[in-house]
Amino acid sequence: MIKHLEDLKQDTIPEFRGGKGEVQITHFLEVDKGEFNSKGRLFAKNVLKPGSSVGLHEHVGDSETYVILSGEGLVDDNGDQKLVKPGDVIITRNGEKHSIENTGTVDLEILALILFD
């Protein structure tokens, strides 16, 4: 089955997880359509404009992987503050916390994958 970009579910969420600005989420797979085989709940591209962020939050019962596609940002990786750039992969396991902020001047594009534990 092929879904085109215009068919993908899109969300715009303000102050996501207590963050600043908003996050635009383009969902590649949808839980409600059974597309995760019950193995996860998010496979998406998240876009943060400069100054926007996803607030610090803990993962409980699942793990999230971010892959930086473009732009740059500041990550809180379970307590460690680190600058990230395209190609970087941030893995936040069950029980760990993370946040990410676009500290650059262009959109920060992130792949996000959440798999259950």
Q: Which residues bind a copy of itself (CB under 8 A)?
A: 1-5, 8, 28-29, 35-37, 39-40, 43, 63, 65, 67, 69, 75, 77, 82, 84, 86-91, 93, 111, 113, 115-117
Q: Which residues is 99 bridged to in the sheet? A: 76
Q: State which residue, 25 or 29, has the beta carbon closest to a copy of itself.
A: 29
Q: State which residue, 38 or 105, has the beta carbon closest to a copy of itself.
A: 38
From CA 75, how far away is CA 57, in angstroms rounded?
12
Task: Name the minimum Å distance from CB 43 to a copy of itself.
Answer: 6
How many CA atoms lie less than 13 Å away from 108 in the CB half-sphere?
Answer: 28
